[in-house]
Amino acid sequence: MAAEANIGVVGMAVMGSNLARNLASREGNTVAIFNRSYEKTQTVLDAHPEAKFIPAKDYAEFAASLSKPRTAIIMVQAGKGTDAVIDALTEVFEPGDIIVDGGNALFGDTIRREKAVRETGINFVGAGISGGEEGALLGPSIMPGGSDESWVTLGPILKSIAAVAEGEPCVTHVGHDGAGHFVKMIHNGIEYADMQLIAEAYDLIRRGTGKTPTEISDIFTEWNKGELESYLIEITAEVLKQVDASTGAPLVDVILDQAGSKGTGVWTVQTALDLGIPVSGIAEAVFARSLSSKPAQRAAAAELPGPSSPAVGDVDAFIEDVRLALYASKVIAYSQGFDAIVAGAEQYNWNIQKGEIAKIWRGGCIIRARFLNRITEAYAENPGLVALVTAPFFVDVMASTQDAWRRVVSGAAQSGIPTPAFSSSLAYYDGLRADRLPAALVQGQRDFFGAHTYKRVDKDGTFHTLWSGDRTEIEATDTH
Ligand code: ATR
C-alpha cells in the first residue's frame, strides 16, 4: 500500500470519527482510519465517502498507509484502551513518528506514557481536546503537550482543525509531556465551577423572586449580551426555555436533581490539594454534585429546620446583584484555576504561557467566553502576575461587584438558599486580601500540642514556647 495519508486516527467511535471527518475536510489532509473492530470503520466509510478516508484492517496496514513521520491520533476509551493502542502502534511505528493521545487522560498517565514511548524514539503527545462531539467535528480547542520536535509536524495539522477565535486557531503547544492534559484537566475544573455558579444564580433568582424558568431564560439571554457572554450562559438560557413534551412542564423541573460527573473535576481538586493550591470554587462545585447525588441523606434531612424565606424587595435590583455576584465569583474561579496551572508548571517544569492558554479557550471549548480576552491581556501586561484577580482590570471588577456579591451571599444565608460556590469564592477573596489571618492562632495551636514551632513577624528564626513548662519562648531548630 502506498503511504499517502499525512495523518491517521485510531478509534472510530463518536469523537474519533468526528475528528477524522474534521481533518479530512481541511485542505491538504489525507486521513487514514483504523478501529479495533472493522465494522465501525466500515460504517464511517459508508456514511462519509466525501472524506476519502484510507481504511486499514490492522495496525500494520494502518502504519503502511501513513507518510513519514507517521502521525496518528488515538481517540479510544481512556485507560486500558489507550495503553493497548499505544503498545500496538509502537510495534509498527519507527523512531521520529508521532503518537497523539487525544483522549481525556490523567496527566500523570501521560507523563508515564511519554517517558516509556520516548525510549523507542517515537514521539508521544498527550493532547487535551475540548468541545465535545460538535467541537471534534467543527473545531475544538486543542491543548497538546509533548516534545518540540513533534510540534513541528503536528502544529500545522492541529491548527487546520482547531476552532478559530478572532482569527486565531485555538491551539498552542502547551508544554512538554503531560502539560496539555494537565491544562485540559484545569479547563474542566473551571468548567465545573462555572456551571455551579450559573446554577446557583438560577436557584437564587428562582427561589428569591419566584420567576419561572422561561423568565429566567430571558434573563440569561440578556446577561449573554454583556461581560458574562459565554457558551455556558447561552446554553443555560436554552435549557431553561425547554418544555418537556410529555408533561408540558419546564424540562428543568422534570430532570432528576442529581448531578453526575466523569471525574475530571475530582482530578483537578485532588491535584490542587497535592500542589497546595486552594481551588475552592472548583472544589465546592464537585462537592455540590456529590451532595446532590445522595438521595437517602437528602430525604432524611428534608425536615431539618431552616429559615422562612423572606421575599426579595426590589426584584430587578436583586437580579442585577446576582449578575454581579456571578461575575465576581467567576473571576475567582478562573484566578484559582490559573494558580493551579502556575503551580503545576513549577512542579513539573513546564513553560506554560498563561495568556496563550486563555486565548485557546476563547473558541471551541465549553468555557469559551468573551471574558478570556481580559485574562490574556492581564498576562500580556504582567507575565509574572501572582494572582489573576490582582490584575488592574480585575481589581476594577471587584470594586464594582463586591457590594452586590456580599448582599447576595448574606441574603442567601439568611434565606437558606445554598450558594457554596458564591460563598466560598467570597471567603477566598476576603482571605486573600486580609491584612492578618487567624493562621497565626493555628500556628500557636500547632506549637502547643505538637511543638511544631512558629516564625515571628519581628525577627528571623524559628521559635517554640515551652507550653508545659514556664511558657518562655526558646529559639528552635527547624526539625519539626
Ligand atoms: P466514545 O467516543 O463513544 O465516547 P469511547 O467509549 O471513549 O468512545 O471509546 C470507544 C472506542 O475505543 C471504540 O472505537 C473502541 O473500539 P471497538 O469499536 O473495537 O470497541 C475503542 N477501544 C476500546 N478499547 C480498545 C482497545 N483495547 N484497543 C483498541 N481500541 C479500543
Looking from the CA of residue 37, the nearest atom of ligand 1 is: 19
Looking from the CA of residue 83, the nearest atom of ligand 1 is: 27
* Ligand 1 centroid, distance to 471 Cα (angstroms): 66
* Ligand 1 centroid, distance to 20 Cα (angstroms): 15
The residue whose CA is least distant from atom 30 of ligand 1 is 36
Pocket test for ligand 1, best of 36, 41, 99 (most atoms within 8 A of CB): 36
Report the C-alpha gap between 177 and 147 in whole angstroms.
7
Q: Which amino acid is at 313?
A: G
Does pLDDT of 320 surpass 60?
A: yes
Does pLDDT of 35 surpass 90?
A: yes
The residue whose CA is least distant from atom 28 of ligand 1 is 81
Does pLDDT of 445 surpass 90?
A: yes
Q: Strand, helix or coil at 478?
A: coil
* Ligand 1 centroid, distance to 176 Cα (angstroms): 26
Q: Which amino acid is at 57?
A: K
pLDDT tens-digit profile of 202-232? 999 999 999 999 999 999 999 999 999 999 9
- What is the predicted pLDDT for the residue at 480? 47
Average pLDDT over residues 439-446: 98
Looking from the CA of residue 11, the nearest atom of ligand 1 is: 14
- For the chain, give the mean pLDDT: 96
Cα–Cα nearest to 261, from 282, 236, 233, 235:
282
pLDDT tens-digit profile of 344-396? 999 999 999 999 999 999 999 999 998 899 999 999 999 999 999 999 999 99
* Ligand 1 centroid, distance to 186 Cα (angstroms): 25
* DSSP per-residue string spanning 92-108: H--TT-EEEE-S---HH
Looking from the CA of residue 12, the nearest atom of ligand 1 is: 14
- What is the predicted pLDDT for the residue at 220? 98
* Ligand 1 centroid, distance to 26 Cα (angstroms): 25
Average pLDDT over residues 147-175: 96
At 262, the pLDDT band (50, 70, 90 cuts) reads: confident
Identified catalytic residue from 40, 133, 184, 330: 184
Helices H, strands E: what count in the chain? 20, 11
At 478, the pLDDT band (50, 70, 90 cuts) reads: low
Known catalytic residue at 211: no
Distance of CA 344 to the CA centre of its chain: 14
The residue whose CA is least distant from atom 24 of ligand 1 is 81
Report the C-alpha gap between 184 and 110 in whole angstroms.
12
